Amino acid sequence: MSDPERLPDTMRAVVCRGPNDYRLESVPTPKPGPNELILKVHACGICASDLKCRDGAAMYWGDGDRFAPFVKPPMIVGHEFAGEVVALGEGAGEHFGVSFGDRVVPEQILPCGKCLYCQRGHYWMCEVHHIFGFQGGVADGGMAEYLRVPANAVLHPVDPRLSVEDATFLEPLACGIHAINRADIQFDDTVVIAGGGPIGLAMVQLARLKTPRQLILVDTHDDRLAMAYDYGGDHGFNPHRDDIAKEIRALTGGYGCEVYIDATGAPSGVAQGLESLRKLGRFVEFSVFKEPATVDWSTIGDRKELDIRGSHLSPHTYPVAIDLLARGLVTTQGIVTHHVPLAEFERGFEIAARRDSIKVVLTMI
């Protein structure tokens, strides 16, 4: 092992030991094995999935019925991070094509390389599905001063023009790019993005680059709608005030939108989308839900013959995310709203749970 920066024996990390049991602890600093490296983490974003996991959502902890446990505590949490290479295990430089001091970002998934999906090139759907920040000892996350990058990670260099905020936002931005790609946006489409969270606001910027005829954001907070106009949106509607399907039909000659992307995380957003789409439209489901969404499936088939497309993670989109940020075609300005030191992670989680924040970033440098 080469080690130009003498790593401390211990480090600070946010450790999950169970639902609603997150602690700042002193833990051993990881050491790299063959073809592994150690990152000094610069910052780590708090994701809505982090909040849902903390709060005990069944899709993470299991429910004895539909969901088997996904998380493996104790684990260091966090999957939206980037950092600097400070230690290389034997062969890691050649394996990853990196050197000491390089700024890099790993994709959130650690594909096994052996399952049916990995063997067919669909690594983001890996059956084993280890994700940074959810499986202790195997895929510990980035809410820590240092992080071990295993040999099976998918690693990308960070463009030097990117700020710490930009680099930390690469994971959610890359996920948003995949969802936009799944939508197959055409020049004459009316596109609706439902949900003005960090990724939803990124999707507005991304969809504008596809130059659709009309671009609409739906959100329950008017400040998010105002931001969408700044990012190139044409219209913004609030379901607390507006009849969304009626407003969309009024803008489309009574037909409805061609594309509806659900990033609400609310079951009501699904029914809203099915009602808003025109016949032969495309519905892209991006959200992670706390509870099931119930809809009339005859709308999808007999009434409208809709295309229903899922969007999971960020296959092959990190290089695109890095390039778009580096060229200034997408921005994190206005999206990253709070910076909180790692030692105050509990305050960071509290802020992230409020609707007056958008993206909260825990900082280590």
Domain carrying residue 188: 173-310
Grade residue 306 by pLDDT with cuts at 50, 70 and 90.
very high
CATH number at residue 210: 3.40.50.720
Phi, psi of 58 (to 5 degrees): -60, -30
Task: Please give the DSSP secondary-structure letter assigned to residue 330.
Answer: S
In a domain? residue 325: no
Quick one: 151 and 100 in the same domain?
Answer: yes
Is the per-residue pLDDT at 5 higher than 80? no
Is the per-residue pLDDT at 125 higher than 80? yes
The answer to whether 184 and 260 are in contact (CB under 8 A) is no
**Mean pLDDT over residues 83-112, rounded?**
98
62-66, 83-87, 219-223, 274-278, range with the lowest pLDDT: 62-66
Helix (H, G, I), strand (E, B) or coil at 157: strand
In a domain? residue 231: yes
Could you give the number of structural domains in the chain?
2
Quick one: 192 and 270 in the same domain?
Answer: yes
And the tokens for 4?
């130009």
CATH number at residue 94: 3.90.180.10
Is the per-residue pLDDT at 325 higher than 90? yes
**Mean pLDDT over residues 312-332, rounded?**
98
**Mean pLDDT over residues 92-110, rounded?**
98
In a domain? residue 135: yes
259-288 pLDDT, tens digit per residue, is 999 999 999 999 999 999 999 999 999 998
Among all chains, which residue has been given the structure tokens 């913004």? 236
The 3-class secondary structure across 106-143, one letter per residue, is ECCEECCCCCHHHHCCCHHHCCCCEECCCECCCECCCC
Residue-level pLDDT at 1: 45
Mean pLDDT estimate for the chain: 96
Of the candidates 148, 139, 36, 146, the residue with the CA atom closest to the CA atom of residue 96: 36
214-258 pLDDT, tens digit per residue, is 999 999 999 999 999 999 999 999 999 999 999 999 999 999 999
Quick one: 201 and 303 in the same domain?
Answer: yes
Q: For a pLDDT cut of 70, what percent of the chain falls above it?
A: 99
Is the per-residue pLDDT at 87 higher than 70? yes
In a domain? residue 317: no
Helix (H, G, I), strand (E, B) or coil at 188: coil
Is the per-residue pLDDT at 6 higher than 90? no
Quick one: 73 and 177 in the same domain?
Answer: no
**CA angle at 26 for the pair 41 and 79, rounded to the nearest 5°:** 35
In a domain? residue 320: no
Phi, psi of 328 (to 5 degrees): 75, 15
Helix (H, G, I), strand (E, B) or coil at 105: strand
In a domain? residue 316: no
Cα separation of 218 and 205, whole Å?
14
Residue-level pLDDT at 323: 98
Quick one: 74 and 106 in the same domain?
Answer: yes
Report CA dihedral (220, 224, 230, 235) to the nearest 10 degrees: 0
Is the per-residue pLDDT at 2 higher than 70? no
Quick one: 147 and 197 in the same domain?
Answer: no
Task: Please give the DSSP secondary-structure letter assigned to residue 197.
Answer: S
Quick one: 250 and 208 in the same domain?
Answer: yes
Quick one: 240 and 100 in the same domain?
Answer: no
Quick one: 141 and 239 in the same domain?
Answer: no
Quick one: 186 and 164 in the same domain?
Answer: no
Quick one: 31 and 156 in the same domain?
Answer: yes
Residue-level pLDDT at 63: 87
pTM of the shown model: 0.96
In a domain? residue 228: yes
Residue-level pLDDT at 65: 82
Quick one: 47 and 179 in the same domain?
Answer: no
In a domain? residue 321: no
